[in-house]
Structure 1
Amino acid sequence: MEYTNGSALSGLKVLDMGRVLAGPACTALLADLGADVIKLETPGVGDDSRINLPKQNGQSTYFVNFNRSKKGITLNLKKGKDIFLRLIKEVDVLVENFRPGVMKKLGFDYETLREINPGLIYAAVSGFGQTGPYSQRAGFDPVAQALSGMMSITGYPDRPPVRCGSSVADVMAGMNATIGILAALQHRHATGRGQFIDASLVEAAIVGMASVNQVYLTTGVVPQRQGNGYTACAPGGCYHAIGGEVALLAMGEVAWEKLCNIIGRPELLQRPEFANNDERVKNKPELDRLIDEATSTIPIDDLVERLLAAKMPVSPIYNIAQVAADPHLADDRHVFTEVDHPTIGKVKITNQPFKMSETNPHVRGPSPSLGQHNNAVYRALGYSDKEIEDFAANGTI
């Protein structure tokens, strides 16, 4: 399959008021898909993530990653209300991840803005959603992982709860907002009307755990931490081998028989406590011990090769350096890409997670410096060079 870089969202104008991760991740995806994204930041300060580690040549590559392909402007929302409202008339989508109520206090809530632009699609990403008793709480990824129950099932039974090592709730919430925006665009195409999209980190995390939630919803049994195992089937998890560790899964009776033969333990097939999936899940600790005992005697490359030959799901457990060097991921699937930043130089960043045959998403440029596109954007709104100079002088932009 050939994947041709293109612009599926060409002509779409997006105002990005997001900060740090969830909002910017959403708009970075829209920008890579070809939307014209304008990132709005506070004059002299900018997005909080501009100071985040890691850094290259003194600049945050965290910021570069989530703000590539965008233009950048600055605007004091209190001083520049008229400018903001003129900008709203020109855009199709607004994305923000302030605490619920902040935009209303500024006079820029959805009900107000849709009077100015009835076709506006307004996406708000927050920790807990726009409604309900928790809506005013400060929300960020670890809190979302805690309240969603994600931490409660992550880690080992004899150890405290563990946060997933990356900000998965932030990223999933940003992608959920993107899905909502694309659906709203289709609705607007049919009706001419925009709409409000309410996405939250907590709900993103909860939906990400749907298969685990179902255990409780069906049986009333509260899922517990079980290391690298599964609630639905066994065996499955992470096991030692000579030279490393592997993650494998033997789902169903055919796969269970294959695994026993591959690891040299066919006698396990005759044990009544492993006779079917229900019994294997019930007796998982002993099952895992016996499998690990067997795999620990096999070189990791040999074990992986045998399991792959049997068409079984298996992988060595990679660190990030191994992921970045893997030829399938790095070369064939292009999971990482490079952006040429004017002050930092070449920066390697993580790419988008899907391919499109005709309009493949791709990085269109570096992240903007603070206020880099003020002149071009405000001039396009009809302001004169003298007016723009005055805005800069009085701290409006």
Structure 2
Amino acid sequence: MQPLEDIKVLDLSRVLAAPAGSMILADLGAEVTRIEHPEGSDSMRDWGPFINGQSTYYLCANRNKKSITLDLKTEAGAEHFKELVKEADILLENFKTGDMEKMGLNYDEIKKINPRLIHVAVTGFGQTGPLAHEPGFDPVIQAMSGLMDVTGTADGEPTRVGIPIADILTSHYIVMGVLAALRLRDQTNKGQFIDLALLDVQISSLANISSAYLNTGFVSKRLGNQHNNVAPYQVFNCKDGLLMICAGSDSQFAKLCKLLGREEWIYDGRFKTNMLRKENENQLADMINEIIIMKNRDEWIPLLQEYKIPVGRVNTIEEAIEQPQVKARDLVGEIEHEAYGKIKFIKNPLQFSELNIQYKTAPPLLGENDKSVAILKGKTI
């Protein structure tokens, strides 16, 4: 039994944030049906690299789903869609603000057909505000949210995070919002509209950075691999590569000093507290680096682990996926599709004691399930 196996999701979304959210719902058992224009409406299908003609970008966010095609701008397509809405629990879309209304398919109209429907609208900037009608892609959101301004080296330019982090975080909020709305529907028997904006998500994810500014006026700046508030908490150079070491408390710093053979640092007036260490961070880092550079990473790691000091290699993507811990957690899965063969993917990270997440189907081809869906009035749409 899957927790969402009786939940039907109509997914009108494209690219990453919303499709990744509906994939998590599908992983938890929901029946997710992608609805695309007959000529294709998801540009992510065109983004390489490719495996057997399929975009690996598209493959990362669309497993466990069906795909049908409808032209919602035609009367027949809109009517067919409304028939599907009658039986749906969730409608997920990421059209620009106002586009659903232009098609007569906005929430006020849809809820007349199905008052229990939960409509999730994902946009760059939300349904209100001066930018409501503007498109907002992940890099734009990273820039506007201030995330880029605190990412990168101190003397370099603001830097985009290497993954579409705003999209990924938004996908998680989609799932949280849907689960909360379903729970409330259990109590009220009513659906609702969820307005979710990428900018809102990324602003809310500034965490300690925003808290520092809001409460003290302190504006964090780029520090490369150093931490804004803690020291020593950064990358250090070993003989054979980089190592991330995080001594996040006075006790951990004391352990690090003992390990390095520099117990006098514990009582040094420059380093007695985290605030003092932060003030003298560069000097401290240079002193630590003089010792760390003398050994290889695999020599330092067991020593630091013995002292319970958080440590990790700075891995390439290949090293990250192939490392023993990832293999032990069985994070890589494989699904076969009859048209394009086997694909590998990273599994859902949720591991339950009483639930096995199932990976039933590979990401579908455009319109792959058209024939299995009842066609309105016997007409092909």
Bin for the TM-score computed over the shorter chain: over 0.9
Alignment RMSD (CA, Å): 1.3
The corresponding residue for 1:39 is 34
- Counterpart among 60, 72, 80 of residue 65 in structure 1: 60
1:334 deviation in Å?
2.4
**1:74 and 2:64 correspond:** no
The CA distance in 2 between the partners of 1:322 and 1:257, in whole Å, is: 31
The corresponding residue for 2:148 is 151
**1:289 and 2:297 correspond:** no
- Counterpart among 258, 262, 274 of residue 259 in structure 2: 262
Q: Secondary structure at the match of 2:182?
A: helix
Q: Secondary structure at the match of 2:264?
A: helix
The corresponding residue for 1:3 is none
The corresponding residue for 1:94 is 91
Q: Which amino acid aligns with 1:196?
A: F
Q: Which amino acid aligns with 1:20?
A: V
The corresponding residue for 2:16 is 21
Residues 241-260 of structure 1: pairs in structure 2 closer than 5 A: 241-260=238-257
Q: Which amino acid aligns with 1:147?
A: M
1:218 deviation in Å?
2.1
The CA distance in 2 between the partners of 1:300 and 1:202, in whole Å, is: 39
Residues 152-171 of structure 1: pairs in structure 2 closer than 5 A: 152-171=149-168
Q: Which amino acid aligns with 2:242?
A: E
Structure number with higher relative contact order (C-alpha < 8 Å, ≥ 6 residues apart): 1
1:271 deviation in Å?
2.3
The corresponding residue for 2:120 is 123
Q: Which amino acid aligns with 1:51?
A: D
The corresponding residue for 2:175 is 178
Counterpart contact for 1:46–1:370, Cα < 8 Å: no
Residues 306 and 34 of structure 1, relative CA distance in 2, 3 Å threshold: same
The corresponding residue for 1:212 is 209
Q: Secondary structure at the match of 1:225?
A: coil
Counterpart contact for 1:336–1:349, Cα < 8 Å: yes
Q: Secondary structure at the match of 1:66?
A: coil
The corresponding residue for 1:300 is 297
Of 6-15 and 185-194, more deviation after overlay is shown by 6-15
Counterpart contact for 1:119–1:188, Cα < 8 Å: yes
Q: Which amino acid aligns with 1:88?
A: V
The CA distance in 1 between the partners of 2:213 and 2:285, in whole Å, is: 23
The CA distance in 2 between the partners of 1:357 and 1:198, in whole Å, is: 33
Q: Which amino acid aligns with 2:261?
A: G
**1:366 and 2:362 correspond:** yes
1:341 deviation in Å?
1.9
Q: Which amino acid aligns with 1:218?
A: N
Residues 372-391 of structure 1: pairs in structure 2 closer than 5 A: 372-379=368-375, 383=376, 387-388=378-379, 391=380
Q: Secondary structure at the match of 2:223?
A: coil
The CA distance in 1 between the partners of 2:282 and 2:30, in whole Å, is: 51
1:153 deviation in Å?
0.3
The CA distance in 1 between the partners of 2:26 and 2:134, in whole Å, is: 30
The CA distance in 2 between the partners of 1:215 and 1:286, in whole Å, is: 24
Q: Secondary structure at the match of 2:60?
A: helix
1:283 deviation in Å?
1.5
Counterpart contact for 1:338–1:347, Cα < 8 Å: yes
1:229-281 per-position Cα deviation (integer Å, ceiling 9, x unaligned): 11222110111112121111112211111111222333322321112111111
The corresponding residue for 1:54 is 49
Q: Secondary structure at the match of 1:274?
A: coil
The CA distance in 2 between the partners of 1:201 and 1:323, in whole Å, is: 28
Q: What runs of 5+ residues in structure 2 fail to find an aligned partner?
A: none
Q: Secondary structure at the match of 1:286?
A: helix
Counterpart contact for 1:265–1:294, Cα < 8 Å: no
1:72 deviation in Å?
0.6
Of 365-374 and 175-184, more deviation after overlay is shown by 365-374
1:336 deviation in Å?
2.1
**1:348 and 2:348 correspond:** no
Q: Which amino acid aligns with 2:43?
A: D
1:158-210 per-position Cα deviation (integer Å, ceiling 9, x unaligned): 11000000001001001101100000000001110011111121122222221
- Counterpart among 268, 272, 276 of residue 279 in structure 1: 276
1:61 deviation in Å?
2.0
Q: What runs of 5+ residues in structure 1 fail to find an aligned partner?
A: 1-5, 392-396
**TM-score, reference length from structure 2:** 0.96
**1:314 and 2:311 correspond:** yes
What count of residue pairs does the alignment treat as equivalent?
379
- Counterpart among 209, 222, 231 of residue 228 in structure 2: 231
**TM-score, reference length from structure 1:** 0.92
